Amino acid sequence: MTELLLLSATGLMLSLFLGLLRVLLGPSAGDRMLATQLIGTVGVGMLLVLSVLLDEPALIDVALLLALLAAVAAAAFTGQQEARHD
Amino acid sequence: MNTTNLLVFDGLLLFSIVGLAWASLATTDERRSVILFMAFGLVLAVAWGRLLAPDVALAEAAIGAGLSGALLLAAVRKQSPGSSHTHANPDRNYSESGAKVVLQWLVTLLCAALAGTLAWALLHALSSAPHDTLPRAISDNLVASGVSNPVTAVLLNFRAYDTLLELAVLLTAVLGIFSLGQTTPGYQPAGPVFDGLVRWLVPVLILTAGYLLWVGAHAPGGAFQAGATLAAAGVVLRLTGRSRIGLPDGFVLRIIMAAGVGVFLLVGLTLLLLGRPFLGYPPAWAGALILLIETAAMLSIAATLLLAFVGGQPQSTAVNAAANRQREENSRC
Amino acid sequence: MINLASSILILAGLFFYLAGSIGLLRLPDLYTRLHALTKADNLGLGLLAAGLALHSQHLLTSLKLLLIWLAVLAASATSAHLIARQARRQETRR
Amino acid sequence: MARMAILAGLWWLMVQGRADAWLVGVPAVALAALASVHLGSPALPRISLTGLFAFLALFLRESIRGGIDVAFRTLGTRLRIEPGFRRYRLHISDPSARVLLINCIGLLPGTLAADLDGDHAELHLLDSSDSPDPQLLQLEQAVAQLFSLRLEAGDD
């Protein structure tokens, strides 16, 4: 099981890395934001895997908070856009 | 668990953090920079988790990934649309004199020297002293602290002075925000789907804040993380164009702003009157007192962060009522 | 048996995560990328969380993992819609 | 009351069932419920239990199909997509049901709701040669059943 979790942690990291390229490439702000959402989702998965792998249950709480606050960030982004363009 | 097995993971993580930090600083477009910064915050939260520092990871997730992104986006929004164009073309000034180039090199050299000194100091500290004396002192005295989470024990018992002064710094900051005057009107009323998000997100954020406050006593969590989460709920409310965002008016707001420092001081002074050292809790009461102080601190921190997002003194009740009426009319249309 | 099932779930989750990220890079525009984000990534997290939930064998922990998945699901479905809507409105205004 | 119970359940889950947490839990749940009322969430709609199970089953099946669909469209040597927009008339007018519907459309294979304009949803399709109508109608039926509503007849 440990090997599997190690593999998935590294695989998730790779996934995050690919998402990162999209954040850097853009081209539009929306593209960057959606890639940031991806990083949030990957980050949540990663923290869950790490919580088992490193035997630290508190990381589940971090994952929960990350999930909720990533939603806040996306809301801030689109809310700001709405105000600007309406 | 042998940590060397995570070497590839760690390497990629490190690379992402540095890359994102660099990209976010190097871009000239403010909004792009903010989004990169939010991504940076998310990755950093994972990194703190990887370093087995869930307390910091929680704070980073709440503040770095969520709140400061929202704050910075609001700041970009507030800038007048034309202002970014006026200073978007600094190259002309640069080419004028070689003095700038010299200055750039000088700053680079100074930064490198600083980094070198820090690295040397770190290496020195790691190699010379037996660096587990402090953790041992903490774990030896943990029983008397009233909580079982060492981080909370340090923040609110052993080094309570520091935390008190931090709260005082926050109070000063909020006074500065108040001096900016009344807030500008908020955002447009949001569409139904956004509203649907807010309806479940805000109650869940409030619950989570309560949970973090409670869990801080024996596991990672605490007033700072809880306050940031609570503030995030207010931020989301403001984004939907609501003028009432959970902040009370006038006098009550002032009480809440000062509550963190106030309750802390009150507890300290009461203990002093009872013949104990300042903030030297009696072990039997320590747990309850810490919870009391943390609750007050959470409210102050949330109010401070939210006021920072709003960017000024909230409008008076009359204005609020008018805005509310306006909103209702809008939503009826 | 449980271990096998949870391993399969975790690996499947990993597959969808990677597929989502590759989609994010390969797909040509914002809307199609949003498809990859909402569908592949959420399924990835769902499978991963399910696998870990099976592994944990504490009912409450498993339910908490489920809660996290639901939160991510709702949040990302909503933000995908909002991002698409905003892009669409900017486009049609031009 | 119902929302109090739901929030209390959430709290119980978060603290992993520890009994001493109710000292903070009771005020937190009360505050959260208060916020939920103030946000103007309608009193919880009449949720039918059989509708809930039917909806969950459909939701799970479709989101798995959606994930597989998008994964295999993008992982091939050539992208198998033909994106396009399409308008779809919604048969449900209840606001909370609509929000749920919009969010779920994004998880269905190949569809994404890009905007809502009156009774019409602006859909983005991964493959515009496929008609999404049958699966959308199926989803609408499930949502309607969940909220104990009936679909409105549309002239489309």
- What is the tens place of the pLDDT at every residue in C10-56? 888 899 898 888 888 888 888 888 888 888 888 889 999 888 888 87
Distance CA A39, CA A18 (A): 9
Q: Which domain holds residue B218?
A: 148-333
Regarding whether D137 and D74 lie in a shared domain, the answer is yes
How many Cβ atoms sit within 10 Å of the Cβ of residue C73?
24
Residue-range definition of the domain harbouring residue D63:
49-146
**Nearest chain A residue (CA) to C78:** A71
pLDDT of residue B114: 92
Length of chain B, in residues: 333
Q: Between chains, do D32 and B193 touch, taking CB under 8 Å as contact?
A: no
The dihedral sign for the CA sequence B14, B20, B26, B30:
negative
Taking the CA of residue C54 and the nearest CA in chain A, the distance in Å comes to 12
Instruction: Return d(Cα B181, Cα B176) in angstroms, integer.
Output: 10
Q: Please compute the mean of the pLDDT values over residues C84-91 and round it to a whole number.
A: 79
Domain contains B29: no
Q: What is the mean pLDDT of residues B115-124?
A: 88
CATH classification at residue D99: 3.30.70
Extract the tokens encoding B296: 């007050």
Of residues D22 and B317, which shows the higher confidence score? D22
The mean per-residue pLDDT over the stretch A50-72 comes to 85
D66 and D133 share one domain? yes
Q: Is residue D18 part of a domain?
A: yes
B326 versus B249: the higher-pLDDT residue is: B249
Kindly state whether residue B141 falls inside one of the protein's structural domains.
Answer: no
Partner residues linked to C63 by β-bridges: none
Residues of A in contact with B8 (CB under 8 A): 10, 13
Which residues sit opposite D113 in a β-bridge?
D123
A vs B: CB pairs below 8 A: 179
* Closest Cβ opposite residue B194 in set C71, C74, C82: C82
D156 within some domain? no
- Please state, in angstroms and rounded to a whole number, the distance separating the CA atoms of residues C18 and A11: 8
pLDDT in tens, B92-116: 444 556 778 888 888 889 999 999 9
Name the residue type at position B48.
W
Angle between helices A29-53 and B30-50 (to 10 degrees): 0
* Contact with chain B for residue C88, Cβ under 8 A: no
Identify the CA nearest to A80 among candidates B192, B71, D40, B28: B71
Mutation target to probe the C interface, by most C beta carbons within 10 A, among D18, D74, D127 is D74
Interface residue C75 vs chain B (CB under 8 A): yes
If one counts the domains in chain A, the total is 1
Q: Are residues D31 and D68 in the same domain?
A: no
The answer, for B12 touching chain C at a CB cutoff of 8 Å, is no
Cα distance between residue C20 and residue C37, in whole Å: 6
Closest CA–CA distance from residue C93 to any residue of chain A (Å): 10
Instruction: Please give the Cα distance from D117 to D104 (Å, whole number).
Output: 17
What is the tally of structural domains in chain B? 1
Residue among B216, B47, D34 nearest A61 (CA)? B216
Domain total for chain D?
2
Query: How far is C-alpha C3 from the chain's CA centre?
Result: 23
Asked whether residue B325 is assigned to any structural domain, the reply reads: yes
- Only one residue has tokens 């091939």, namely D76
- Which of B209-213, B303-307, D1-5 is predicted least confidently? D1-5
B132 within some domain: no
Question: In this predicted model, what pLDDT tens digit does every residue of B25-77 receive, in sequence order?
Answer: 887 788 888 888 888 888 998 888 888 888 888 888 888 777 888 888 877 77
Q: Are residues D62 and D94 in the same domain?
A: yes
As a whole number, mean pLDDT of residues B250-258 equals 75
Which residues of D are less than 8 Å from C23 in CB distance?
70-71, 74-75
Query: Is B75 inside any structural domain?
Result: no
Residue among B174, B207, B123, B5 nearest D15 (CA): B207
pLDDT for residue B89 is more than 50: no
Q: C60 vs A51, B100, B273, D21, CA distance in Å? A: 15, 61, 46, 15
Residue C81's alpha-carbon distances to A9, D71, D144, in angstroms, are: 29, 20, 21
Q: Do B201 and C85 touch (CB under 8 A)?
A: no
Distance in Å, alpha carbon of D98 to nearest chain C alpha carbon: 12
Determine the distance in angstroms separating the CA of B24 from the nearest CA of chain A, rounded to an integer: 9
Asked if the structure places residue B169 within a domain, the reply is yes
The interface predicted TM-score of the complex, written ipTM, equals 0.84
